[in-house]
Amino acid sequence: MRTLKKQKGLRPTTGKVREALFDILRARMEDARFLDLYAGTGAVGINALNEGAAEVVFVEENKGHIRKIQGLLEKHHISDRVDIANQKAIPFINRAEEQGLAFDIIFLDPPYHTDEIINALTAIGRSSIIKQTGIVIAEHFTKRTLPDIFDRLHKVKTYTYGDSVLSLFEVE
C-alpha cells in the first residue's frame, strides 16, 4: 500500500507507530471485529484488514476523509469487509451500544490537543461496545497522561514512540 499524504487537519498515525501497533495486536487480529474511531486517512483500519481482521468499522466525521477512505478501500478491493460511519465518535458509540454492536479491538486516535480522548474513553468504558475479552488502544500525545481507569476499562500498558503514546486498556 502506498504511503498516505498528510492532509490538512490530519495527523495520521506514523508508519513507525502503526507498525508498533500491529506488533502489539497481531496475535489478536485474526477474525477480529475492529473499530477505527477518528479514522482520518483510514490507514489503521486498512492495516487491520490486511492483518486478518474479519471486519472493520471506520468512524470519521469529515466527509472528504470518508470519500478518500472509500476510494482506498475500492482500490484495494477490500470494501466488502467494512462499514463506514460518517459521524462523530460519541454519537457513534451511543448508537453502536443501542444496536448491540461489540468489538474485539477498538483503536482511537482523536486530535491530540482536545479532550476527545477522555470523552471517548469514558463513553467506551461505560458502554458494552467492547467485548469482555477485547482491548482498546488509544493513541495520544506524550504530554497527556491518561487515567488508569475508565469505568470497565483498565490501563494495562503504555508504549512511547517519540511524541506519541499508545495506551492499552482491557475490560475488567
CATH no. for residue 33?
3.40.50.150
Q: Which residues of the chain register pLDDT less than 50?
A: 1-8
Q: Is 2 part of a structural domain of the chain? A: no
d(CA 33, CA 53): 6
Q: Which residues contact 84 (CB under 8 A, 6 or more apart)?
A: 57, 58, 60, 66, 69, 70
15 vs 112: CA distance, rounded Å: 17
What are the cell numbers at 25?
Answer: 495486536
Please give the pLDDT value at position 12: 67
Domain assignment present for 91? yes
Residue with cell 472509500: 70
Residue 172 lies in a domain: no
Q: Is 57 helix (H, G, I), strand (E, B) or coil?
A: strand
Residue 48 located in a structural domain: yes
At residue 39, the pLDDT reads 96
Indicate whether 135 belongs to any domain.
yes
Number of compact structural domains in the chain = 1
- Does residue 79 form part of some domain? yes
Residue 101, in any domain of the structure: yes
For the chain, give the longest Cα–Cα distance. Answer: 40
Q: What is the pLDDT of residue 4?
A: 36
Cα–Cα distance measured from residue 54 to residue 9, given in angstroms and rounded to the nearest whole number: 30
Answer yes or no: pTM beyond 0.85: yes
Residue 138: give the domain boundaries. Answer: 15-160
